[in-house]
Chain A
Amino acid sequence: MKSKSRYIGLALFLLIGLLPFGLALVYALLYSFGIVGIANDGFTTKFWQQVLVEDTFVQSMLYSIVISILSVVFSVGIAMLIAIKYVSKLEKPFMSFVSYLPLCMPGIVVAFFLIQILSEAGWISRLAYSIGLIDQLQSFPSLVNDSLAIGIIVAFVSVVMPFFLLLFISVYRQERLDELAHVASSLGASPLQIAIKIKIPILLHRTRMIIILYFIFLLGAYEIPLILGQESPQMISVMVVRELNQYDLTKISEGYVVAVMYTILISLLTLVVFSYHRSKTVSHA
């Protein structure tokens, strides 16, 4: 009886947790090979060839990877600097509440706010105009929908950095880094040595899985690049949705090719990361 209920539970888990994922992947796969779809008439690899020849996927993927890496590096760097230097100040009641507040801002609000602040007619541009730094609206550099993706990176950092700050503060306390620093200091280590050789390695080691997970999340981010990005190149999620919403029905299959490639890539990355983590955990045990 007990084992029967366990089997039912597992079946339920697979039904809710895995089946939708599997069904979505199968449909995208069938569409990408022309097996299903209104404009398709049987198995073909031409959509895959088309996508691989066009290079749009590779370009979009590389663009997404670079933006995600830069955003994670900036977020982790800034958060770590603040956490190491100001941990005790951030634990005071008011600052503690303030540190949590950025978590209330979803990506779409951050994107909306940055348009208000960083665009050519935005608040910073108005400040620059009022103090005479620019003489007309067009003189202000475009910081949203720009070719260097500055707007996207600023938005990602604004969303992710506060989370890492809270995470690092929590790990800082759990690992008793202040006590370790005290021991190192009494052995003659300088504050810089303590930061570089003790605090940063421990914080990075403890949080490496979450850092990688955030990189994967940013890779698939949608609303921020949709609002703050440019027409081309686009980040991968924006590109997939654009391809799937095209009026040209023959292009939809190419959209599914990109969706399949992205799904496989992310699944493999997740698998590798978790297998590596597990093997490390087992070997440490």
Chain B
Amino acid sequence: MRRSSNSIVMIAYAIWVLFPFLYLLVLSLSADWRFPSILPNYIGLKNWAAVLGGETGLVKSFFLSLFISLLVALSSTLCGFLLSRIVNYNKKKNLWTIISYFPYVLAPVVFGACLSYYFLRLGILGTTFGVILAQFFIAFPYAMIFFSPFWTEKTKDYENLVATLRGSLVQKFTKVLFPLSKNLILICFFQTFLISWFEFGLSSIIGVGKVQTLTIQVFLFIKESNFYYGAMSCCLLMLPPVIFIYVNKRYVFNKIL
């Protein structure tokens, strides 16, 4: 009896999780779905055909977002890894760690609003580079914090061992530090990619409507009450994270645990 009630709870939880994905997919495939209809009158590929035909600009936004997120993830993971080493081996490590939390905990949209003046002066407000730079400023502290636990006494001992064996700095990184931390680097890359991919407020402030990432498209479709295209952009927005989680769970987490 208890066993079956536990299964019911798990089934209910699975439905609760999966329902939004299914609902948004159906909504993206439908048309003229209005109150009081519980099911759509039309299900087909009309909306998606329009998207692939380039009518809505969604494909462009998808690739623009992908480009921005990949660059942000790559740069912040690399800088976070290298600079967290220096910060964590420093005597004032605690102070630097607290400092790195400040931009991270502040609402990105408020941060962006206060920073937009400098972006305007530099001529990068409303440009893709401006959005990448602004997102980097919030993804970088995350990477710094993420890599902090890696730089332990044990890691330092490995580094010292390489130095004792007359290994160069390049060898230290390529033969010891990168192989030791490759799974962490991969997870950090995924996480910073997602920070950028999901970012809305900062991109809207710095992009000033000229850099139309996918999250901004979703918001525009909500404002226009174009729910079918809104649902399509939501599906596109969720696609890379679903793939990442699948890859992460299959190839990364299982190797760590």
Contacts and interface: CB of A to CB of B under 8 A. Distances in A.
A203 interface: no
11 contacts: A10-B87, A96-B249, A100-B249, A106-B198, A106-B215, A125-B35, A220-B106, A240-B109, A256-B114, A259-B110, A266-B107
A116 B113 contact: no
Interface in A195-244: 213, 216-217, 219-223, 227, 236-237, 240-241, 244
Contacts of B136: 16
Nearest to A213: B105
B117 interface: yes
B201 A121 contact: no
B238 A259 contact: no
Interface stretch (B13-21, B43-51, B147-155, B177-185): B13-21
A244 B113 contact: yes
A259 B90 CA distance: 32
Interface string A78-93: 0000100110011000
A21 B6 contact: no
Contact of B198 (A85, A107, A129, A220): A107
A189 interface: no
B37 A263 contact: no
Interface in B44-96: 79, 82-83, 85-87, 89-90, 94, 96
A187 interface: no
Contacts of B14: 94-95, 98
B77 to A, nearest CB: 13
Nearest to B237: A109
Report the contact-size class of chain B (Cβ under 8 Å from the partner).
Answer: 35 or more
A270 B102 contact: yes
B241 A104 contact: yes
A9 B82 contact: yes
Given A82-B13, A105-B238, A129 B113 contact: no
A10 B6 contact: no
A126 B38 contact: yes
Given A107-B200, A129-B36, 14 more contacts: A6-B90, A9-B86, A27-B115, A95-B14, A101-B245, A103-B241, A108-B218, A220-B106, A221-B107, A223-B200, A263-B114, A266-B106, A274-B97, A274-B101
Contact of A241 (B18, B109, B144): B109
Contacts of B97: 274
Contacts of B201: 222-223, 237, 241
B234 A95 contact: no
Given A17-B100, A126-B36, A100 B200 contact: no
Given A95-B14, A103-B241, A271-B98, A112 B109 contact: no
Chain B residues touching A, majority SS:
helix
Given A123-B38, A223-B201, A236 B107 contact: yes
B140 interface: yes
B132 interface: no
Contacts of B34: 121
A240 to B, nearest CB: 5
Given A97-B246, A98-B17, A108 B215 contact: yes
Nearest to A13: B83
A46 interface: no
Nearest to B113: A244
Contacts of A278: 94
Contact of A259 (B27, B100, B102, B114): B114
A86 B9 contact: yes
B83 A16 contact: yes
Given A113-B234, A271-B98, A241 B105 contact: no
B251 interface: no
Contacts of A222: 107-109, 200-201
A18 interface: yes
B20 A113 contact: yes
Contacts of B18: 98, 101
Interface in A7-50: 9-10, 12-13, 16-18, 20-21, 23-25, 27-28
B173 interface: no
Contacts of A85: 6, 9
A127 interface: yes
Interface string B162-184: 00000000000000000000000
